[in-house]
Amino acid sequence: MFEQSISTLAQKLRNKDISSVELTRLFLARIAKLDPQLNSYITVSEQRALEQAATADALIQNGKGTSLTGIPIAHKDLFCTEGTLTTCGSKMLNNFIPPYESTVTSRIQQAGAVMLGKTNMDEFAMGSSNENSFYGAVKNPWNLDMVPGGSSGGSAAAIAAGLAVAATGTDTGGSIRQPASFCGITGLKPTYGRVSRFGMIAYASSLDQGGPMAKSAEDCAHLMQAMAGFDEKDSTSADTPSEDYLANLNAPLTGLKIGLPKEYFGEGLDSQVADIIMAAVKEFEKLGATVKEISLPNLQLSIPSYYVIAPSEASSNLSRFDGVRFGHRCDDPKDLLDMYMRSRAEGFGTEVQKRIMVGTYALSEGYYDAYYLKAQKIRRLIKEDFVKALDEVDVIMGPVAPTTAFGLGSKTSDPVAMYLEDIYTLSVNLAGIPAMSVPAGFANGMPVGLQVMGNYFAEAKLLNVAHQYQQNTDWHLQTPTMAKGA
Amino acid sequence: MNWEVVIGLEIHTQLSTKSKLFSGAAVGFGAEPNTQTTLVDLGMPGALPVFNKEALRMAVMFGHAINAEIGMSSVFARKNYFYPDLPKGYQTSQMDHPIVGKGYLDVMLEDGTTSRVGITRAHLEEDAGKSLHEDFQGMTGIDLNRSSTPLLEIVSEPDIRSAKEAVAYVKMIHSIVTYLGICDGNMAEGSMRCDINLSLRPKGQKEYGTRTEIKNVNSFRFIEKAIYTEIERQADILEDGGRIIQETRLYDPEKNETRSMRSKEDANDYRYFPCPDLLPVVLTQEYVDGIKATLPELPSQKAARFQSEHGLSEYDANVLSSSRAMADFFETANTIVADAKLTANWVMGELSKLLNQEQLEIENAPVSAKAFGELLVRIKDNTINGKTAKDVLQAIWNGEGSADEIIEAKGLKQVTDTGAIEAMIQTILDANAAQVEQYRAADEDKQKKMIGFFVGQVMKASQGKANPGLVNPILTKMLKG
């Protein structure tokens, strides 16, 4: 049952093959049994889940609800959930129970989905391995010695292990796509502005974007139906109607023009990963697509640009965590400065502190032009590269990450190697375009994701492309051994 | 040495929007702490700002009123610093691309000359909350009601050369923002606060001296006094061969002195950068022109009209148009009186005197413009004389009724019956035979001085009701015998 798609489960719920309460209990039992190995949840909200499931059953009984009604899912722990602990993976928010609901979780709740709990993540979404969580690292269900990727590592691991049907994630520099790739699931980072950021605890506001993570593109489409759309509470939200993400999933790919950026296949890319990506591209050719080489010449600059812009914004966004109104406050502060310094030093982990310092430096008087302004100029160049490329092709394909999931602890001492993990994903956030990670094979027993990038607001197109691939492959249907044990 | 003072002003004007700059919370003064807040004003994680379009409209109006370039694409920026009543750890303001660019005002000085003060810019920003230090047993309480209240910060060029000019400029800004209805102008409640940048230089020198900034001065009188005090302080230092330290100072009105708050070395690096939660505010020409069309008549335009339409002097026209409430009062009263000079004199004279005594603004006067006009009509038609009218005004002020009711009830109607006046005069002359003799013996100059005595006696006898216009000629004639 835990391996079923949202469509199938929705049908079973309507056929009364199973009730939402039963389905929810089944997932809660799996979490209780398997999650001690994975650590993918920070909070399991059993009571809330069972109440929502009962409500969903009543709706279904009356023939109401949507395809998400009664479906147990999880939320990344940076979406504020009213009355439920929201930590952002940080000691700073170890006691934070929001008095309000984020737009994303609220819309999904209105669609009738059941929230099983809040998933683990890199602290304040800063990380590519989920090792930067105050609540401990998450393990990869495919190999418990490996990282699940980050920062939405908890969501990815929970889906891969069958501890949630689907989940929300957020992607600032690859945080949906890279863990999706590492855990063998499907993830979509929508166009910046397509999904409301209201109630999402900000890391880097101009890059953050929430999106769906699930086993398949079709399941992601079901989530997008609920999540996407204009929100007057988010000024950067796009004031254009969202599409019907399910309607065109079955459109044929004949004539689809695929661009392969040569910079995505250069030095640093694992050869097995490269082979898997090329095999996937061949599959698309069989489906009627044409392939051409393109160039995104400023790809290399995305890392320095990102690691100036994101920390700069973060240094400002995280200033509100000062011990005054909510979150961690140090014991017995001597004075105001002592309270600020100790509350923040105690509440924030190493990586967060590092990025706050980098960002503070980059915005400082005398350095602003050399760092922040220059990074913004590069950002424009990167965007122009994509706009130009997407004039010529419908979608761009390449790897999500240079390698498969790496070993826990193997890169924690080498931040630059860790940052290089994001080389193929960062530029998408800088440009603001949508992109997906689609399971495309295995190398040394670990999943490999194909990245599919598209034009602004082309989410429906990306989901169609991914869905057609998944109709002809079964990589997304693979289940890790540890998940089968329960 | 002969010093020249150089002053530039930053005026923080609280815009009178119903809700806050970036949230739907109500704006208001004096509510229970933290009751006028939303997630946004509290700086909650995940809360996002939404720009109040009403504040935008008001800022554009102001831009038009000072002949400024309107920022067709203005950008909100974050000013980062830690303070307990700054909930987000940054203030959302505008830096490189303000909503209002370069403009100017022509300021009329007391001596009747006009000087042009350049305005560098005016930008929108949110206010911070308040730290409360009493009642918390050594701790500090935070009230975020004021957090995110919209401010328009109006920055002048260093064009001002005296305390009087500074005050005239601030008064003019005050008058414009209240005319536009974009600020309630209540300085006591902090709706307008002024930062004064001031430096001295030897007269004739081109380069500016080192300046100090006096923060948060909130009345016209304090602005003037703070400037005098600071000029004196700086001049003393310079004349002793000292150097001015660039610093922020506070004006203490009780001691009438400024004192150091923080020096430049302690100044924050605010790390301004464009706020990524807000899009650039892009305006269309149509929007900007549309707002221009809604501008009310401004003080200078009104003063010009008062001269041309009502024949008032430049001085009277300027005084009456300095506040919209006073101008409206004048115009409403004058539609009843139809004698602009009489109305102007009484508004600027007796009414202003009463307002000053009671420390009231004209909009809170207990006498309406209509009631005031009706009173003046009775002067104009000789029902009462000016002296009586003052008493009637006081009675109206006290709530005793309309002018006619009071005149009737108190029997204040002027005596205009010449026969009655002649009889009254005869009684006076009979009772003061000695003075009449002296008068008749005196030469013309002396007589002119002496007649006042008889007029006084007549007015006294008539309880002020005799029409002075009739008393004088009759008295003169009867004294001749």
- Let me know whether B185 and B249 are in one domain: yes
Phi, psi of A166 (to 5 degrees): -155, 175
Nearest CA-CA distance, residue B74 and chain A, Å: 15
- Whether A26 is in a domain gets the answer yes
Beta-carbon contacts below 8 Å between A and B: 100
pLDDT in tens, A349-377: 999 999 999 999 999 999 999 999 999 99
Same domain, B372 and B429: no
To which residue do tokens 């004294």 refer? B479
The closest alpha carbon to B351, from B334, B335, B183, belongs to B334
Cβ–Cβ < 8 Å for B175, B105: no
Residue A312 near chain B (CB below 8 Å): yes
- Residue in B42, B47, B82 closest to A322 by CB: B82
CATH of the domain at A100: 3.90.1300.10
> Is A314 within the bounds of a domain?
no
- Of A242 and A447, the structure prediction assigns the larger pLDDT to A447
Asked if A320 and B87 come within 8 Å (Cβ–Cβ), the reply is yes
In a domain, A287, yes or no: no
Q: How many CB atoms lie within 10 A of CB A473?
A: 17
Low-confidence ranges of chain B (pLDDT < 70): 264-266
- Asked if A364 and B271 come within 8 Å (Cβ–Cβ), the reply is yes
CA–CA distance, B129 with A282 (Å, rounded to integer): 61
Q: Do B77 and B29 fall into the same domain? A: yes
Q: CB of B480 within 8 Å of any CB in chain A?
A: no
Q: Which residue in the set A199, A204, A363 is minimally distant from B271, CB to CB?
A: A363
Kindly list the catalytic residues of A. Answer: 76, 151, 175
* Tally of structural domains, chain A: 1
Structure tokens at A418: 């860790």
Note which residues in 214-273 of chain A have CB less than 8 A from chain B: 232-236
Which residues of chain B does A319 touch, with a Cβ-Cβ cutoff of 8 Å?
Answer: 80, 82, 88-90
In A22-122, DSSP assigns E strands to 41-44, 72-76, 114-119
SS3 at position A386: helix
State whether B47 and A200 contact (CB < 8 Å): no
Instruction: Please give, rounded to a whole number of angstroms, the shortest distance from the CA of A235 to a CA of chain B.
Output: 6
Q: Check residue B265 and give its pLDDT.
A: 65
**Which H/E stretch holds residue A177?**
helix A177-183
Residue A33 CB coordination number (10 Å):
12
Phi, psi of A164 (to 5 degrees): -165, 150
Of B387, B410, B433, at which residue does a domain stop? B410
Q: What crossing angle do the helices spanning A6-14 and A20-38 adopt, rounded to 10°? A: 140
How far apart, in whole angstroms, are the C-alpha atoms of residue A122 and residue A469? 31
Q: State percent of chain A over pLDDT 90.
A: 96
Buried b (16+ CB within 10 A) or exposed e, B417-446: eeeebeebbeebbeeeeebbeebeeeeeee
pLDDT per residue as tens digits for the range A298-339: 999 999 999 999 999 999 999 999 999 999 999 999 999 999
- Say yes or no for a CB contact (<8 Å) between A98 and B45: yes
* Beta strand B273-274 pairing with A290-294: unpaired
- The number of distinct structural domains making up chain B is 3
pLDDT number for residue B479: 83
A438 lies in some domain:
yes
CA-based nearest residue to A170, from A118, A232, A231, A110: A118
Residue A118 lies in a domain: yes
Residue of B416, B426, B384, B431 whose CA lies nearest to B403: B384
* Contact: B273, A80; criterion CB under 8 Å: no
For residue B252, give its domain range. 3-290
Residue A332 lies in a domain: no
CB contact under 8 A, B273 and A205: no
Residue where a domain terminates, one of B290, B324, B342: B290
pLDDT in tens, A177-191: 999 999 999 999 999
Residue B478: what pLDDT? 86
Residues 6+ positions from A342 with CB-CB distance below 8 Å: A330, A333
- How far is it, in rounded angstroms, from Cα A33 to Cα A35? 6
CB contacts of A88 in chain B (<8 Å) are 45
> Three-state SS across A427-453?
HHHHHCCCEEEEEEEEECCEEEEEEEE
> How high is the pLDDT of residue B16?
96
Same domain, yes or no: B349 and B280: no
**What pLDDT is recorded for position B266?**
66
Which residues from A are below 8 Å from B47, CB to CB? 198-199
CATH of the domain at B433: 1.10.10.410
Flag whether A369 is in a domain: no
Which residue in A80, A315, A368 is closest to B45 by CB distance? Answer: A80
Q: What pLDDT, on a 0 to 100 scale, did the predictor assign at position B345?
A: 95
Instruction: Find out whether A372 and A308 touch, Cβ atoms under 8 Å.
Output: yes
Same-domain pairing of B69 and B54:
yes
CB < 8 Å to B272, chain A = 363, 368
Q: Is A382 inside any structural domain? A: no
Domain co-membership, B271 together with B324: no
Residues B325 and B264 in one domain: no
Tell me what pLDDT residue B439 has: 87
Mark whether B280 and B169 lie in a shared domain: yes
Which string of DSSP letters, residue by residue, matches B50-62? ---HHHHHHHHHH
Helices B433-441 and B418-431 meet at what angle, rounded to 10? 90
Mean pLDDT of A401-405: 96
- pLDDT number for residue A486: 60
Min CA distance, B75 vs chain A (Å)?
Answer: 13
Q: What is the dihedral of CA B429, B431, B432, B433, to 10 degrees?
A: 80
* Dist CA B466 CA B77 (whole Å): 71
What is the SS3 assignment for A16-39? CCCCHHHHHHHHHHHHHHHHHHHC
Judged by CB atoms closer than 8 Å, whether chains meet at B273 and A312 is answered as yes
Contact A236 B276 (CB under 8 A): yes
